[in-house]
Amino acid sequence: MTTAIEFQAVQKSFGETAVISGMDMQVQQGERFVLVGSSGSGKTTSLKMMNRLEQPTAGQVLINGKPAQDYPLQKLRWMMGYVLQQIALFPNMTVAQNITLIPEMKGTPKAQLQQLADSLLDRVGLSPAKYRNRYPRELSGGEQQRVGILRAISSQPPIVLMDEPFSALDPISRKDLQDLVLDIHQQLHNTIVFVTHDMDEALKIGNRIGIMSDGQLLQAATPQEIAQHPANDFVRDFFKTSVAKNVYDRPVSQLLLAVTPLTDLSSQQQSAAGRLAEDAALRDVFQALSINENVEIIAQTGQSRGYLNRQLLLNYLSQNED
């Protein structure tokens, strides 16, 4: 697998204040890598060093194996879409103009720009006829964020950086846009680096999660590896506190991280098992297991994640009590 982004002994200070301390990190091409940690842990600064909004004080950042500072700045940033919490759409531009800004700057013929805007709006469930000529002030927060994501991917950059893009949104809009990020990634197979302070969001978005504290990357691994082999007490407590809250409302996907829910079943047992999507709530598992001895968990891709039974569920609850 090819490395898209690499930090080599990166340090960053603002005056006398050290923000990043000797950070080593690799993000592979095509993965969804999430940096998570409390405010002030260095997540956003790390993201900004990837597209040179900030420069390292020491060490270096490599993009596709080449030092970031060796790229012409415009070329580097055209390689990366960027989505912020405050999306900052251009208020004097229509939705279509905002979406196609980078393709237009890169010389895409005007005849193709509207077609591009319309196809992207369709992709995220916004009717082109209704939205293409609107202005940002005429959109809800969730709609603005959808347009911001489309602007970031409109030129199909190989890397997309997302800095807490949904933290200001209501829970329903937030879930919808998280699903949108996963759908777009499945279609484009781009590299996504996503910053959040919310472990729930990190678990949903990330193939791998990097947990930061006080300017240090404490562990970067799959959610399963972090759950089963935390690097230290901070990582263990940070992870466990998240998966323990509101346990009955949490998605099954988080239960899958805390236990090993793969059960060897006969073909007869498999055919008789119930089925649930991995974003179903834990309370739905209880209901399904009142009818079936086993429940098959289905990923968003349609593939089976394995089977749950009552014993596995009880093991999970005994390990994750508030």
Rounded average pLDDT over 91-120 = 93
Look over the chain and give the mean of its residue pLDDT values, rounded to a whole number.
86
Residue scoring higher pLDDT (295 or 267): 295
Q: Tens digits of per-residue pLDDT, 12-65?
A: 999 999 999 999 999 999 999 999 988 889 999 999 999 999 999 999 999 999
How many Å separate Cα 173 from the centre of its chain?
15
Provide the residue type at 234 as one letter: F
196 — phi, psi (to 5°)?
-155, 160
pLDDT at 317: 67
pLDDT at 101: 93
Reading across the β-sheet that carries 208-213, which strands appear in turn? 80-84, 159-163, 191-196, 32-36, 208-213, 216-221
Q: Tens digits of per-residue pLDDT, 195-216?
A: 998 888 888 899 899 999 999 9
Residue 191 has pLDDT above 60, yes or no: yes
Residue scoring higher pLDDT (17 or 85): 17
pLDDT at 87: 73
Reading across the β-sheet that carries 3-14, which strands appear in turn? 17-28, 3-14, 58-63, 66-67
Q: Tens digits of per-residue pLDDT, 135-159?
A: 999 999 889 999 999 999 999 999 9
Rounded average pLDDT over 165-176 = 84
Contact between 173 and 143 (Cβ < 8 Å): no
- Range in 19-28, 88-97, 216-225, 236-245 the model is least confident about: 236-245
The pTM score is 0.77
CA angle in degrees (0–180, nearest 5) for 88-173-47: 50
Return d(Cα 17, Cα 49) in angstroms, integer. Answer: 17
Residue 122 has pLDDT above 80, yes or no: yes
Half-sphere exposure of 61 (CA within 13 A, CB side): 23
